[in-house]
Amino acid sequence: MSNSPTYIARNGSDLRTGSLPVRSAWQRRWLPVAVVLLFAVLFVVAGPVKAWAVDEGQQTTEDSAVNDEAGFGLNAFVRNNAGTARSVDGADIGYRYPLQDDANLVVLNIPETADAQGTGYVLVHVDADAAEAAGLDLHDTGDTDALRALIEELDRTHSKGGAVLADLAEREWVFTTDDAFVIGPYCFRFSVEKAGGRYTSIVPADLPEGAEPRDQAELLGLDLGGASQWCSNATLVPSADVSTEAAPGVWDNLARFFSSLDYRPFWVSLKTSVLALAITFVLGLFAAWKTMGTSSRLKGVLDSVFTIPMVLPPTVCGFLLMLLFGRATPTGQWLISLGIDLVFTWPAAVISAVVVSFPLMYRTALGAFEGLDRSMLDAARTLGWSERYIFRRLMLPLAWPSIAAGTVLAFARAMGEFGCTLFFAGNYVGVTQTIPIAIYFQWMGGNTDVALFWVIVVILFCFLVVLFINVYTARSQRYRARGITRRSRRRGRAADQASPATDTASADTVRLDQEALRALLAMPADVVDEKQVGAGARGENGRSGGDRPGAGGMGGEA
């Protein structure tokens, strides 16, 4: 906070050296290794999430299975985990499961509670003609065992995470070609056609002529839906007709994964944070500049107001924005009547990002501006420069490393914004769903691999951004490095005891600023130094800093 040059000489230099582009050979070698390591770690982490099945040649499609020895297989297997007691077109046909048009095989999982016997059944109905065509003999245990194995295999792959038949070993398997089958108080009708659809329906076994199944079930105290836990249907075909496809390799799986991804969160994140950054950058610098020039009391107030979004939890920011713009409050109503309806729109996401990233930009810029040598700014004023010109030609270039750091921080904050955005802009895919929000909702939705993909994208992207800014800063500050190295070389010749390392560390702001100032003003070194010394006379620290032998920029030059 202090404006005295001593402060700058002591602390400002520490800040600066961090961003000085003095890269050792070690750093240059280390960087690619780090990148490769990062990729390797991510690949290893990402690896086990997807099962990379490697199979050669042909395989049955997802909904099919075949037993070549038995000579038949199943196509178009579907497992219905729930049915409905809802009427079809006004007609009550009991508790029903939908049936595909060409299905000729139905599997019902009947729990032990459905009959008195206590073991439960797996009831398999096969259409008699289809069985004959496929060469399936229901009286041959070899055939029925083969069919059972096919059903258990497909049931497992179609369980969607639910229980599977293969684990219900105590169930008794019953095979039938009859159109209806009675177990306990329930009658299972395998193929009921109604209003253009086919269903497997469950009705009470004791169903008088003309009675409605649901009414009768209620009368008897039967729970028709409880008579079956799930119901599958498929098409039984000879093994030659089982549909097959080329077995997908690792690359097919990868291609399928990447083509099924929704990339919109990336674009939303990018455009939200870039626009937010542009706004934050301008506002943050402007606020820092103006705050610096105000009286100390007002400055305290402004400083608090500008900084508070940084210390507040983002949800509080979101809540406040919601209060300000939401429909539920008078201010929101008023703004909406003016046509400013922002809640759950993309501008809301941008505003959220600006609010949370602004303090970072503002604080770093203010810190950098206050770290500048006051006497130098005064020197510029004596040259008749306007405040704006000083800001643009002197303050901005000199404070640039800190501003760049602040920009990176603000960008990272805008990119990573979650709480405030979710609160104020919601989670609309392709509109306000940024990558952080996508990660959370994909993870919570059980899509761990998609969440992981976005995590990797964020890590890589942020890595690239930081790298870019660092390289760019290094480039834009190269003139300083050149100045230092030339100087240290020269001094190295003149005085052996000062090593280049200590020289770099002790390269204080005053000297650096003068280097830059000289370059900017394109004046001979001695002229500036004289002005500088004269201007710095009111705080004699400026002189003492300059007179220090180790840091002796002026002394040496003049």
Partner 1 sequence: MKRRSFVRLAGALGCSLALAGVVAGCSNTTTTAEGSAAAGSDTGSAAAQQVELQVFAANSLEKAMPEVEDLYTEKTGVTFADTQYRGSGDLVEQMTAGAQVDVLITASSGTMDDAVEGSLVDESTRTNMFVNDLVIVAAQDSDVQINSLEDVANVEGNIAIGEPGAVPAGRYANQSLASVGLYSSDTGQDGAYADSIASRVNQAQSVGNAAQYVASGDCTIGFVYSSDVYRYDGLKVVYTVPADSHSAIVYPGAVSANSENPDVAADFIDFCMNDEDALAIWAEYGFELSEE
What residue ranges bind partner 1 (CB under 8 A)?
Answer: 78-87, 97-98, 100, 160-163, 196-197, 214, 225, 264, 267-268, 270-271, 274-275, 278, 281-282, 322, 326-328, 332, 336, 341, 343-344, 386, 388-389, 392, 426-431, 433, 443-446
87 φ/ψ angles, rounded to the nearest 5 degrees = -70, 150
CB of 324 to partner 1, least distance (A): 12
CB of 275 to partner 1, least distance (A): 4
Q: Specify whether the CB–CB gap between 272 and 353 falls below 8 A.
A: yes
CB of 89 to partner 1, least distance (A): 8
Instruction: Classify the phi-psi angles of 90: left when phi > 0, otherwise alpha if psi is within -120 to 50, otherwise beta.
Output: left
Q: Where in 40-179 does DSSP place strands (E)?
A: 58-60, 65-67, 72-80, 95-99, 105-110, 121-126, 172-176
Q: Strand 197-204's sheet: what is its strand order?
A: 95-99, 197-204, 186-194, 180-183
Our CB check for partner 1 shows the closer of 200 and 488 to be 200
Our CB check for partner 1 shows the closer of 281 and 306 to be 281
CB of 554 to partner 1, least distance (A): 29
Q: Which residue has the tokens 């010394």?
A: 533
CB of 195 to partner 1, least distance (A): 8
Our CB check for partner 1 shows the closer of 322 and 510 to be 322
How many CB atoms neighbour CB 37 within 10 A? Answer: 10
What does the alpha-carbon distance between residue 381 and residue 231 come to, in Å, rounded to a whole number?
Answer: 86
Our CB check for partner 1 shows the closer of 144 and 229 to be 229
Alpha helices in 83-191 (DSSP H): 128-134, 141-157
Helices (H) and strands (E) in the chain, counts: 24, 12
Our CB check for partner 1 shows the closer of 7 and 346 to be 346
What does the alpha-carbon distance between residue 206 and residue 217 come to, in Å, rounded to a whole number?
Answer: 9
Our CB check for partner 1 shows the closer of 196 and 210 to be 196
CB of 344 to partner 1, least distance (A): 5
Our CB check for partner 1 shows the closer of 278 and 471 to be 278
Can you spell out the DSSP letters for 371-385?
A: HS-HHHHHHHHHTT-
Give buried/exposed letters for 189-219 (b at 16+ CB in 10 A, else e). Answer: bbbbeeeeebbbbbbbbebeeeebbbebbee
CB of 320 to partner 1, least distance (A): 14
CB of 270 to partner 1, least distance (A): 6
Our CB check for partner 1 shows the closer of 326 and 552 to be 326
Our CB check for partner 1 shows the closer of 69 and 170 to be 170
Our CB check for partner 1 shows the closer of 449 and 540 to be 449
What does the alpha-carbon distance between residue 426 and residue 422 come to, in Å, rounded to a whole number?
Answer: 4
The encoded tokens of residue 99 equal 């049936």
What does the alpha-carbon distance between residue 152 and residue 163 come to, in Å, rounded to a whole number?
Answer: 11
CB of 533 to partner 1, least distance (A): 27
Our CB check for partner 1 shows the closer of 72 and 423 to be 423
For residue 336, with 0-12 CB atoms within 10 Å meaning exposed, 13-18 middle and 19 or more buried, which class applies? middle
- 57, 66, 61: which is closest to 240 by C-alpha? 66
- 150, 144, 152: which is closest to 169 by C-alpha? 152
Q: Specify whether the CB–CB gap between 272 and 430 falls below 8 A.
A: no
